[in-house]
Structure 1
Amino acid sequence: MYCRIDGNDDVAMSGQRPIRYVCTSSVREDLVCELGEMSRTTGELLDALDASESAVYDALSNLEKKGLVDSHRDGWSLTGGGQLVADALGRIRDTESLLADDEDYWNDHDTRVLPQVYRCRLPELGDYEILRARESDLNRQVRHIASRIDAVEACDIVSPVYHEAYGDAMPDHEDARLVLSTDLVEGPSPERHPHSSWESTAVRIADVPFALGVSDEWTILTLPERNGQWARATLVSEDDSAIQWGRGLFETVWADATSPEQSHFVD
């Protein structure tokens, strides 16, 4: 992030932007994050932080001079600007936690294919599992996804690639929706994944560079690898926040998709 300088730093404070200023001190950063939840007394802050009493007092004084915290009879609270800084730091910490859970996955896959608003919200995936194909079992990932789809009554799916196992598992249900890649429907062999395979499931067509599955029980996300190859790793999360994230992303894709009848596909 930034070089941290703990202690009295009035010179560093002058003219420095609020987030940069807070992040250059671990004590200031911890204080702002602690106050992001609720007002605290000085004693509560001293108990919560792993810092000397003098360091905490100096940091509070400097944060108050910077206009990020207010002191009052009941203790300390964030100003409006201080709350915005706390929210930004919370997003940074959540993103760091997301990356730390599986750095190799995030470094190897292309997150740029996601709309920026959902890319910024990736920490909402919460606790997740990365399911990787193995050299000895290249279809492990496919079987796992197909089994999850087959086990639910209805789900929403974005499918940029064809695999017979996914087509067989996709429920034919009035509450199910499917977005197929334009290439699958309008490509040289559209019969491989005919949109007429489902009577009740609603189907639309879109240019989709990632795969997504959402049900009441899980969100499944597959991003392409940065080398351009289709991924052999899939993210699965059962957290409620991940399901809400997935539903929002699916609705965005669905809104931009078109019905097969509006595409150039001809039966």
Structure 2
Amino acid sequence: MTASERRPVRYVCTSSVREDLVRALDGTPKTTDELLDSLEASESAVYDALSNLETRGLVEARQEGWSLTGGGQLVADAVGRVRDTERLLADDDTYWNTHDTRVLPHAYRCRLPELGDYEILRARESDLNRQVRQVASRIDAVEACDIVSPVYHEAYGEAMPDHEDARLVVSSDLAEGPSPEQHPRSSWEATTVRIADAPFALGVSTDWTILTLPERDGQWARATLVSEADTAIRWGQGLFERVWADATPPSSSRFVD
């Protein structure tokens, strides 16, 4: 048995037929005829792949048809994550290659494919504030949202809703800084504010998730990711709650009565 055969995920991914079989059986048993009809492979290739997968304990023949074993289901889940990650990167590889995903908690970095279909909002040489305006317009259009803001933009401060269901996390530098015009307390009488030094910006509402990662060269990004997918909104909600749980109430009178 080769090294790849001893590693079931790698073994499955080194053959398009094995990979397609595992994905076809993900969650639903199928008969041999159903598999032959659904896969773009020869009959002999399908039979050979089924035999090899059965030998390695990843699939089993049951009364209702071929089914994944418990281990096979784990392999199918891993294969699905690989494909979803490839799709995420392929949609805008320039963005992912130039931005630092390492600042995200590991669990949420692994779940980045949950962002689904997304749009990258970019500043332009002829319009450096384009990205900021586009993000601010989305924030301004919702009644309430949750925001993590490690850097200050006046447009974001003006757009941030003042609502009992809105929450804002700012960095300690912004909270305790000397500039009274930044994040004026009078703007948010109902919004709850906490302090945490997050290395990324995040916005979550019932309509969207907005994520800004720093660039790989350490510069603050001139590109922001926006997704309106339900999975992306759940991803963003979970990440915000993690930041919120670790954040602390501010001591500055700028934010408290």
Equivalent position to 2:171, from 163, 167, 181: 181
* Separation in 2, partners of 1:70, 1:171: 55
The 3 A distance-change label for structure 1 pair 237 and 77 is same
* Separation in 2, partners of 1:44, 1:84: 22
1:196 is aligned with what amino acid? R
Q: CA deviation at 1:47?
A: 1.2
Query: 1:78-89 alignment to 2 at 5 Å?
Result: 78-89=68-79
1:50 is aligned to 2:40 = yes
Q: CA deviation at 1:262?
A: 8.4
Gaps in structure 2 of 5+ consecutive residues: none
2:230 is aligned with what amino acid? D
Q: Is the 8 A contact 2:147 2:168 kept in 1?
A: yes
* Separation in 2, partners of 1:190, 1:113: 27
Q: CA deviation at 1:73?
A: 3.2
Q: CA deviation at 1:72?
A: 2.4
Greater alpha carbon shift after TM alignment, 50-59 vs 13-22: 13-22
Query: 1:84-103 alignment to 2 at 5 Å?
Result: 84-103=74-93
The 3 A distance-change label for structure 1 pair 257 and 21 is same
Root-mean-square deviation (CA), in Å?
Answer: 2.0
Q: CA deviation at 1:74?
A: 2.8
The 3 A distance-change label for structure 1 pair 21 and 14 is closer
Query: 1:8-87 alignment to 2 at 5 Å?
Result: 11-12=1-2, 16-87=6-77
Q: CA deviation at 1:168?
A: 0.8
Greater alpha carbon shift after TM alignment, 67-76 vs 14-23: 14-23
Q: CA deviation at 1:201?
A: 0.4
Stretches (4+) displaced over 6 A:
none
Q: CA deviation at 1:261?
A: 2.2
Identity among equivalent pairs (%) = 77
Instruction: Give SS of 2:170's match.
Output: strand
Query: 1:234-253 alignment to 2 at 5 Å?
Result: 234-253=224-243
Equivalent position to 1:120, from 110, 124, 137: 110
Equivalent position to 2:205, from 215, 218, 228: 215
Q: Is the 8 A contact 1:182 1:206 kept in 2?
A: yes
The 3 A distance-change label for structure 1 pair 160 and 96 is same
Q: Is the 8 A contact 1:13 1:66 kept in 2?
A: no
1:148 is aligned to 2:141 = no
The 3 A distance-change label for structure 1 pair 201 and 42 is same
Q: Is the 8 A contact 2:185 2:256 kept in 1?
A: no
Per-residue CA distance 1:5-55 (angstroms, 9 max, x = gap):
xxxxxx448961211221221111111111113001101111111111101
Q: CA deviation at 1:192?
A: 4.1
Per-residue CA distance 1:221-248 (angstroms, 9 max, x = gap):
1000000000000001111111111111
Q: Is the 8 A contact 2:176 2:252 kept in 1?
A: no
1:106 is aligned to 2:96 = yes
Aligned length: 255
Partner of 1:3: none
1:193 is aligned to 2:182 = yes
Give the TM-score of the pair, scaled to structure 1. 0.91
